[in-house]
Structure 1
Amino acid sequence: MDWKTELMNIWELVRSWEILKETVFQKLITYYLPPTSSLLQFKDLSGLYVIVTGSTSGIGLHTAKEFAMAGAHVVMACRNVKAAKELASIWKEEAHNGRVLNIEVMELDLISFSSVRSFADQWKQREVPLHILINNAGLCNLEDGQKFTYGGIEQHIHVNHVATALLTLLLLPSLLRTPSSRIINVNSVGHHCGVVEPQYWNSKMEDKRFNCVRAYGSSKLAHIMFLKVLASKLSDQHKASIQCIAVHPGAVCTNLNGGTKQKLFFMFDADQGARSTIYCATSDSVAENLIKGFAYYSCSCKPGKLSPQAEDVDTCLEVWQKTMAILELKEDYLSEVLDS
């Protein structure tokens, strides 16, 4: 056995352990954490604008509700506007001590770039600061084979990375309106299973090579790598104070893949899954662990271990450039936003 093969075998063991620890043993490593409902219990977030994508179910629902109950101006950005309005109405009735919740619903469909641009345009017209952007909406289709969106992009990469990247970039002017803002990307320990193959983002792979689990993991890996580059570019600009955090919420029982037929013993409920997201969005201690404006957190609300691929600067830049090309954004787009 040569050294390269031996190194790969060692990496497979490390990767397997990281995934195992963050899924099967997640309740053990998070036993000491407080319940989600207590994270914002004594905080008054009045005056903060928070956008939560995919907020009609699962992690996004509980995240949006907790922020609203804490007084933040919450924007539920989602496809199912009717369901979101019904939820907002229920939460307002549940509010304690006569508190008036500030919740609004805006339509956002990540499958459509035009929907993303329309959402961003409507938000931009308000000329208000955006304090926290929580990119929670995602897709995990493990039942079908390789599928492409109308834009010709593999569905996982489209929803979990490219469309989310577009939304983030278009909302940067609002994020820059406040002295300190945060971008929270709900990610997954599954990024350890991902591979970087931008050439297959918008072209068909041989069926025998395609794997749904790997496609999902790859989209989450690209999600992280793009955010790392964005954070680095922003931190190089002294006037940019946006903190970029990717967070693994744990193995959570949600309807991300049409609903889990049977909850496995180690899985979190959706409200438990929202815990690390809320923590990363509001905790002062997170800023202490930023490296060039970026941090990756695990479901234990502590810094997590990134895939070695996500640490490769050149590969991260390749993901950035491919994303910008698909979105037809100029290479100096970021500089123009920062200079405006």
Structure 2
Amino acid sequence: MDRWAWLRHLWEMKEIFGQKFLTCLLPPYLLPNNVSGLSVIVTGATSGIGLQTAQELAKAGAHVIMACRNTKAANKIACQWKEEAQNSIVPNVEVMELDLLSFSSIRQFAAAWEQRAEALHILINNAGIYLMGEPQKFSDEGLEQHIQVNHIAPALLTLLLLPSLLRAPSSRIIHVNSVAHHCAVVESKYWNNRIEEHKFSSFKAYGSSKLAHIMFLKTLANKLMEQRKTSSIQCLAVHPGVVTTNLVPAFQKKAFWMFDAAEGARSVLYCATSADVETHLVKGFAYYSCNCKPARMSPHADDMDSCLEVWRKTMEILQLNPDYLSHLMANMYDNSD
């Protein structure tokens, strides 16, 4: 990577230290009334941004599905929300088990949801990992853990939930991303292969996984547009800022320039519910920053050939046909006749 590229990356990263200034004039985000009755799946909803996002949506009347590994903790939280409601509307919250380190768990979750034959209005892929400073680790699926949890797993979940998303008159896929994607490149050969220990960087692996998912989501949006000319599904990636969560132990102690979970959830909730985002979509896709405004992505995400290569590699790992989408749409239309 040349020095000009590094300078550009540093310039893009500047906003993490100025995020408080960039958002100081934003009011506390208020959800519109039109979320009442909408079905929303939030992954990783037991802590941090996911917890705050799920709670705000539930309070606003949405049917919220907390998709989590720790169902005991999720059920405890859901019960607490209902107890705190008192005379107000009791939140419509349910808990479903989902482990992003297991393809089997993802398929079971999607199958259980699909059995309902209901519309899904919003999918928020919030769950993620950053194994800061740790050596390269692989999942039981044989994938480097950052790429599995932050990209491959939400990609599989999204693809399997497309029938439910397409049942809604309009739906959204929100992926909680990171400004760290600006400091990364995608090297898919390392997704399921070891790197020499001294060459592995957990930060680069994290950034690469976030970049890969932006490229995948953008490709998905483009393909949906190609299939239906005007897609009912809107795909958005959003950088929520640097937030004090348990994602990174070193970030649990809040610095003056960092967001708390409520501040971090603001841009996610905005992308999930605001009508304004539709005006900034390009072929069904947009990338937003922590100030609830469209932002510039890494140039790698603007290279459509590279995005298509990420799509191809992802589908190969998932053992899905690269034309999965066209077959899915054809089957849906046939069944509706």
- Report if TM-score (shorter chain) is over 0.5: yes
Query: Which residue is equivalent to 1:28?
Result: 21
Deviation of 1:336 (Å): 1.5
Distance 1:315 1:281 in 2: 27
Matched, 1:9 2:3: yes
| Alpha-carbon displacement from aligned partner over 1:223-281 (angstroms, at most 9, x marks no partner) | 10000000000011226310000000000000012463522221100111000000000
Instruction: Give the aligned CA root-mean-square deviation in angstroms.
Output: 1.3
Write the letter of the residue equivalent to 1:222: A
1:150 to 105, 130, 140: 140
Question: Residue 35 of structure 2: SS of its match in structure 1?
Answer: coil
Query: Which residue is equivalent to 1:249?
Result: 240
Matched, 1:336 2:327: yes
Note if contact 2:49-2:265 (Cα within 8 Å) is conserved in structure 1.
yes
Query: Which residue is equivalent to 1:292?
Result: 283
Question: Residue 237 of structure 2: SS of its match in structure 1?
Answer: strand
Distance 2:147 2:325 in 1: 22
Runs of 5+ unmatched residues, structure 1 = none
1:280 to 271, 276, 286: 271
1:323 to 314, 322, 327: 314
Query: Which residue is equivalent to 1:106?
Result: 96
Note if contact 1:175-1:242 (Cα within 8 Å) is conserved in structure 2.
yes
Matched, 1:268 2:259: yes
Matched, 1:86 2:80: no
Note if contact 2:246-2:252 (Cα within 8 Å) is conserved in structure 1.
no
Query: Which residue is equivalent to 2:335?
Result: none
TM-score, L = length of structure 1: 0.95
Question: Residue 237 of structure 1: SS of its match in structure 2?
Answer: helix
2:301 to 307, 310, 332: 310
Distance 1:315 1:276 in 2: 27
Q: Which is helix-richer, 1 or 2?
A: 2
Write the letter of the residue equivalent to 1:13: L
Q: Runs of 4+ in structure 1 displaced over 3 angstroms?
A: none
Provide closer, same or farther for how the CA distance between residues 128 and 261 of structure 1 changes in structure 2, counting only shifts above 3 A.
closer
Deviation of 1:143 (Å): 2.7
| Alpha-carbon displacement from aligned partner over 1:13-39 (angstroms, at most 9, x marks no partner) | 121011122x10000001111114xx2
Query: Which residue is equivalent to 1:140?
Result: 130
Deviation of 1:44 (Å): 4.5
Distance 2:278 2:204 in 1: 31
Question: Residue 167 of structure 2: SS of its match in structure 1?
Answer: coil
Distance 1:187 1:277 in 2: 10
Runs of 5+ unmatched residues, structure 2 = 333-337
Query: Which residue is equivalent to 1:62?
Result: 52
Distance 1:14 1:154 in 2: 27
> Aligned pairs, how many?
330
Distance 1:62 1:44 in 2: 19
Note if contact 1:176-1:240 (Cα within 8 Å) is conserved in structure 2.
no
Question: Residue 110 of structure 1: SS of its match in structure 2?
Answer: coil
Provide closer, same or farther for how the CA distance between residues 261 and 299 of structure 1 changes in structure 2, counting only shifts above 3 A.
closer
Which 10-residue stretch deviates more, 294-303 or 264-273? 264-273
Distance 1:253 1:130 in 2: 30
Note if contact 1:247-1:297 (Cα within 8 Å) is conserved in structure 2.
yes
Write the letter of the residue equivalent to 1:15: H
Write the letter of the residue equivalent to 1:304: A
TM-score, L = length of structure 2: 0.95
Distance 1:45 1:282 in 2: 7
Distance 1:260 1:298 in 2: 20
Question: Residue 50 of structure 1: SS of its match in structure 2?
Answer: strand
Query: Which residue is equivalent to 1:216?
Result: 206
Deviation of 1:98 (Å): 3.2
Note if contact 1:240-1:338 (Cα within 8 Å) is conserved in structure 2.
no
Distance 1:67 1:224 in 2: 24
Deviation of 1:100 (Å): 2.0
